[in-house]
């Protein structure tokens, strides 16, 4: 009995998958500083679309987490992987950001990936954090270059990338974290020592569980060739991190509101112990956590804020 014949299109599909896998494996080998297989060639874009998404992401993460991620990223470019899967990143090649005579954003991106701590979410964010620059570059008449809103645009581009390529299917929490880091990657670099404790507390609250990853990405994002400028940037992030830890430790030890505030609320506004009174206390605690109110102030500070914001009406003498 003769063996069944395999259609030519199936042979072509298998050949394309093999080309794509060889290109991905070669890129990972460069990043992991392993020998390359001979005769690896660039694969056409349609070849990568045939490879299962977990396998694609796994190969890309081996590049990002390898000992030589810069070399691996150059291999992704040379073998056609960026063209097929991440054109947003490919667009950074040769694109200048206006610093140091139009520094190449691709070179900057590779350095950020290398400098980033080898955690998957941080390395992915390092790769993608500046993709919004291509769409937002603005050159002023005096030659100054700006990228206003590039973090927000980059986060939107990440959404489109995910819909197009679905690299993070089955890894929704990873996708959420990477998008968060792209969106907020400039926040820590905006810090200076004049921030009040309330501002630091509000920043930490807004960053939530992503704070550690964000600070690590911010450190990696400092690629200036000026030693004094680099030291200044790293010192500022370290100071911010230390202040966040100190404030969180202090908040954990000291109740945010003074003892007896519930009784004072009841007396001032004529509110008996009730869910309404509990809701007012929760409102005050939330305002302290968000940095709107300072913790452990005198009673009148909180009572006055409730009255001024209209959260509760002051009881009139002799009124109901």
Domain boundary among 85, 105, 134: 85
- In the numeric block, which tokens belong to residue 80? 């056609």
Q: Could you give the CA distance from residue 97 to residue 309 in angstroms, rounded to a whole number?
A: 45
**Per the domain annotation, does 165 fall within a domain?**
yes
Q: Among residues 47, 48, 78, 42, which one has the least CA distance to residue 165?
A: 48
Residues 192 and 104 in one domain: yes
Q: Could you give the CA distance from residue 237 to residue 114 in angstroms, rounded to a whole number?
A: 19
Residues 205 and 222 in one domain: yes
Residues 224 and 269 in one domain: no
Q: Among residues 212, 276, 262, 264, which one has the least CA distance to residue 240?
A: 212
Model-wide pTM > 0.85: no
Listed in sequence order, the residues at least 6 apart from 27 whose beta carbon sits closer than 8 Å to its beta carbon are: 59, 63, 72, 75, 76, 79, 81
Listed in sequence order, the residues at least 6 apart from 159 whose beta carbon sits closer than 8 Å to its beta carbon are: 179
Q: Which domain holds residue 129?
A: 89-253
Residues 100 and 201 in one domain: yes
Domain boundary among 68, 85, 102: 85
- Residue 188: pLDDT band with limits 50, 70, 90: very high
pLDDT tens digits for range 300-319: 999 989 888 888 765 544 44
pLDDT tens digits for range 94-145: 987 655 455 689 999 999 999 999 999 999 999 999 999 999 998 888 878 8
The pLDDT, as a whole number, for residue 1 is 37
What's the mean pLDDT when you consider all of the chain?
90
Residues 158 and 133 in one domain: yes
Q: Give the single-character DSSP code of 313.
A: P
Average pLDDT of the residues in 170-186? 97
197 touches 247 (CB < 8 A): yes
Q: Could you give the CA distance from residue 301 to residue 280 in angstroms, rounded to a whole number?
A: 14
Q: Could you give the CA distance from residue 16 to residue 258 in angstroms, rounded to a whole number?
A: 69
């Amino acid at each position: 009995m003769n063996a069944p014949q395999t259609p030519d299109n199936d042979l072509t599909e298998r050949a394309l998958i093999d080309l794509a896998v060889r290109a991905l494996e070669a890129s990972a080998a460069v990043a992991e500083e392993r020998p390359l297989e001979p005769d690896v060639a660039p694969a056409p874009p349609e070849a990568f679309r045939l490879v299962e998404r977990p396998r694609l992401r796994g190969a890309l993460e081996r590049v990002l987490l390898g000992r030589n991620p810069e070399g691996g990223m150059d291999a992704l470019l040379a073998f056609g992987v960026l063209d097929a899967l991440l054109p947003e990143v490919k667009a950074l090649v040769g694109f200048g950001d206006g610093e140091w005579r139009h520094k190449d954003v691709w070179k900057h991106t590779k350095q950020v990936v290398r400098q980033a701590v080898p955690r998957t979410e941080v390395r992915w964010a390092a790769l993608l954090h500046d993709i919004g620059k291509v769409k937002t570059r603005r050159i002023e008449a005096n030659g100054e270059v700006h990228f206003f809103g590039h973090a927000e645009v980059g986060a939107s581009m990440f959404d489109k990338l995910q819909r197009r390529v679905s690299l993070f299917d089955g890894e929704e929490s990873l996708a959420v974290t990477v998008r968060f880091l792209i969106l907020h990657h400039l926040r820590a670099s905006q810090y200076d020592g004049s921030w009040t404790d309330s501002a630091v507390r509000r920043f930490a609250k807004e960053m939530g569980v992503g704070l550690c990853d964000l600070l690590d990405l911010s450190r990696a994002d400092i690629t200036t060739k000026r030693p004094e400028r680099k030291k200044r940037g790293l010192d500022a992030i370290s100071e911010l991190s230390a202040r966040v830890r100190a404030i969180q430790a202090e908040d954990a030890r000291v109740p945010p509101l003074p003892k007896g505030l519930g009784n004072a609320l009841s007396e001032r506004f004529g509110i008996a112990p009730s869910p309404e009174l509990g809701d007012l206390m929760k409102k005050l605690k939330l305002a302290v956590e968000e940095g709107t109110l300072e913790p452990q102030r005198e009673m009148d500070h909180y009572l006055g804020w409730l009255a001024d914001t209209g959260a509760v009406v002051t009881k009139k003498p002799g009124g109901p």
